[in-house]
Amino acid sequence: MAHDDVLAGRVRVELKGEKCDSSYCGAGLQLSPTAELEGLVIIGDEVVIGDHVRLTNCVIGDGCTIGAGASIDGAVLWNDVNVGEFVEITHAVVCNDTTIGSQASIGENAIVAEDCVIGNDARLVSGVKLWPRKVVESHAVVTHSLVQEERWSRELFTDARISGISNIEVNPEFSAKLGAALGTSLGAGTTIIASRDDDAVSRMIKRSITAGLMSAGINVSDLQTTSIPQTRQELHSGKYVAGFHVRRSPKKHGFTDIILFGKDGRDIPLAQTKSVERFFFGEDIKRVEFENVGRLAFPERSTAMYIERFLTALNTERIRNRQFNLLVDYSFGLAATVFPQILGELKCRTLGMNSYVDASHFADPLAEVLDESSIIMRSLGYEIGFKIDPGVEKIALVDERGIWYTSLRLLSIVTKLFLDTNRQHEPYLIAIPVQATEEIEKIAAGYNVEVVRIRNSHGAMMEATKDDRVRFVGGTRGGFIFPEFLQASDGMYTACRILDMLAQTDHQLSELDRTLPKRHQSTVSVPCPYEARGTVMRKAMEHSEGMQRLLVDGVRVSKDGVTVLLAPDKEEALFTITAEADSADQARSTRDTYAELVTQWRDGQ
């Protein structure tokens, strides 16, 4: 770099500051007596240099702080750069107002623009460039320049999902490399299944991943536009070693998700995600010879086979005889391509809303959609209504009164229906997330079943089905698993299974809602840096000593009819407090008390 000539004395320039041996020091310098300055070191005004710092042929701008044990060799730091302890910077440029965490390292010829944040123990390899206001998470390894991307994470996956800004973070280059890394972990000559939603970006990304897989010798069977449950069901054929689905994120507008499946249709195991990450970040990707490049195929009759399995898992005659009047909101999702045919086979009289696939629709104002459905239910006298999410994994439900149930209340109602229709299988287990209300235990008390609490994720729900004693898994977000059909959530099957259970029991939804136990929950999130999570968890453990508690997804404590769950967020620097009680006021009061406690623990009070 150009500054190397100045620091090596090959170019003579006028230098500011007081001459200190071979270095130049600005006003207000706080220099530890144990710090070492070698060669030409130029230090600006109001700089703080900690113990055992080693500076060699470098420039330190005004207002910089250098933590103890740091080593800076041949680098230029602009103004107001904060360098943590034991950081190593070699022949790089760091611009104004950047923060570098402890034990991070920045390689040769790297350039970090202004207002960047580099986390603890992060590493920037040689030649990397960070544009302004980028965030590099702790322990991450940055292997290419960040231009449009906002951040670089230390891990690709959240559970079995990769999510990023469409065509910026999740772009064709990234996706092709991901496909090659996945292919390397699977081994050449194997076959994988692929699918996507109707979004144009999803089509592009799926094709890029497919290209990467084929370059590693993987054969790809492309289901094209197909729902996640149908893709998982196809994996049951045993012909594939894995699968993936690309979709527009249902949580964040402008984001794309890539979800990986194992050979059994469940999410890809943690060990395999780590294997993919090692190949992706380690650049140790294996390409095959040209004659061994993978093949691309398009399976036939996958939808017909899915519908056949679907109907076989139901008592179709019982549902047909009941002749349900239904309202179905398809949410412009892929259920609109399959579900009408299934409902026709079941002789249901159905009014469909938003019943065509349209990728341009994202998040309609939910209240308006639910109000419209409620009016239709009351006006036309329909018995039951379903809203199926665009990904076809979750549902919402409205009863004959036009009342929509919360996902927690829906869990209680579906659990009651399942218990009533499966007495012949007792004893058995049902699994529910740790965040579910204690309504479930109260309902299950009248049956010979055991309630098992699991982590609050779809991955944990699928994992629970590996125990043959588990016959039902209920979620807190509208997803349900019936293992005899699929070891994952399928919104269409859930809706039809509810119809089957209603036909068998003659229950009315409104009557179940009126008679079942009812609890109240209140939730709040407290900001909590990742490095403070351990402290908060330790304090929570100490606080709950001697209480009835459950250590799943955090700390869940129960006392005097009140339950509190303290859980770190998986994706954001937050701690979530969920309080539950017999009254809404008591739940809110308890929530606020524990939110204050978490704040104190976080701040070291």
Please tell me whether residue 118 adopts helix, strand or coil conformation. Answer: strand
Mean pLDDT of 28-56: 94
CA separation for the pair 574, 138 (Å, rounded): 16
Per-residue pLDDT at 498: 98
Mean pLDDT of 258-281: 92
Phi-psi region of 264 (alpha: psi -120 to 50; beta: other; left: phi over 0): alpha
- Residue reference for tokens 């330190």: 60
* CA-closest candidate to residue 394, choices 460, 337, 477, 500: 477
Copy the structure tokens of residue 532: 């403070």
Contact criterion met (CB below 8 Å) for 129 and 148: no
d(CA 454, CA 434): 6
Mention every residue, 6+ apart, whose C-beta is less than 8 A from residue 312: none
C-alpha pair distances (Å), 169 with each of 65, 147, 212, 416, 456: 32, 10, 17, 44, 27
pLDDT of residue 2: 59
Q: What is the pLDDT of residue 143?
A: 78
Query: pLDDT grade, residue 155 (50/70/90)?
Result: confident
Q: Where in the chain is the domain with CATH 3.40.120.10?
A: 161-299, 301-518
What are the beta bridge partners of residue 473?
Answer: 431, 481
Give pLDDT tens digits for 473-530: 999 999 999 999 999 999 999 999 999 999 999 999 999 999 999 999 999 999 988 7
For the structural domain made of 301-518, what CATH number should be given? Answer: 3.40.120.10
Percent of the chain with pLDDT over 90: 75
Is-contact 244 192, C-beta < 8 A? yes
The pair of three-digit structure tokens given for residue 82, joined into one six-digit string: 């904060």
Which pairing describes strands 325-329 and 384-388: parallel, antiparallel, or unpaired? Answer: parallel
Residues 520-602: name the CATH superfamily. Alpha-D-phosphohexomutase, C-terminal domain (3.30.310.50)
Q: What is the CATH number of domain 161-299?
A: 3.40.120.10
Average pLDDT over residues 288-304: 93
Q: What's the one-letter identity of residue 89?
A: I
For the entire predicted model, the pTM comes to 0.81
d(CA 175, CA 171): 6
Q: pLDDT tens across 221-262, in order?
A: 999 999 999 999 999 888 999 999 999 998 888 889 999 999
Report the DSSP pairing between strands 65-66 and 23-25: unpaired
DSSP helix/strand/coil, 565: strand
Q: For 316, which DSSP code?
A: H
Nearest to 269 by CA among 465, 463, 473: 463
DSSP state of 271: H
As annotated, the residues of the chain forming the CATH 3.30.310.50 domain(s) are 520-602
Distance of CA 128 to CAs 4, 51, 96, 146, Å?
Answer: 18, 29, 17, 8
- Which H helix or E strand runs over 20? strand 18-20
The rounded mean pLDDT for the chain is 91
Q: Is the pLDDT of residue 8 over 90?
A: no
Which residue's entry shows tokens 């509810």? 498
Mean pLDDT within 394-410:
93
Q: Does residue 592 register a pLDDT over 70?
A: yes
Amino acid at the residue 509: L
532-549 mean pLDDT: 91
Query: Looking at domain 2-152, which CATH architecture does it have?
Result: 3 Solenoid (2.160)
Residue 176: Cβ-neighbour burial (10 angstroms; 0-12, 13-18, 19+): buried
170 three-class SS: strand
| Span 371-398, average pLDDT | 87
Dihedrals phi, psi of 180, to nearest 5 degrees: -65, -40
Residue 380: per-residue pLDDT: 78
Residue 134 C-beta-side C-alpha neighbours within 13 Å: 24
Ramachandran bin of 465, using left for φ above 0, alpha for ψ from -120 to 50, beta for the remaining angles: alpha
With a cut of 60, say whether residue 369 has pLDDT above it: no
Q: Predicted confidence band at 211 (pLDDT cuts at 50, 70, 90)?
A: very high
Digit-coded pLDDT (tens) for 330-366: 999 999 999 999 999 999 999 999 898 887 776 554 5
pLDDT tens sequence across 49-106:
999 999 999 999 999 999 999 999 999 999 999 999 999 999 999 999 999 999 999 9
Give me the mean pLDDT over the 420-433 stretch.
Answer: 96
Residue closest to 55 by CA, chosen among 7, 101, 103: 7
pLDDT confidence tier of residue 140, bands split at 50, 70 and 90: confident
* Non-local CB neighbours of 466 within 8 Å, separated by 6+ positions: 487
The model's pLDDT over 444-465, given as tens digits with 9 standing for 90+, comes to 999 999 999 999 999 999 999 9
What are φ and ψ of residue 300, in 5° steps?
Answer: -105, 155
pLDDT at position 363: 52
**In the prediction, which pLDDT does 151 show?**
64
Q: What is the pLDDT of residue 365?
A: 44
End-to-end, the C-alpha distance of the chain in Å comes to 47
Of the candidate ranges 135-139, 309-313, 456-460, 554-558, the one whose mean pLDDT is the lowest = 135-139
The whole-angstrom distance between residue 49's C-alpha and the CA centroid of its chain comes to: 40
Name the pLDDT band for 589 (thresholds 50, 70, 90).
Answer: very high
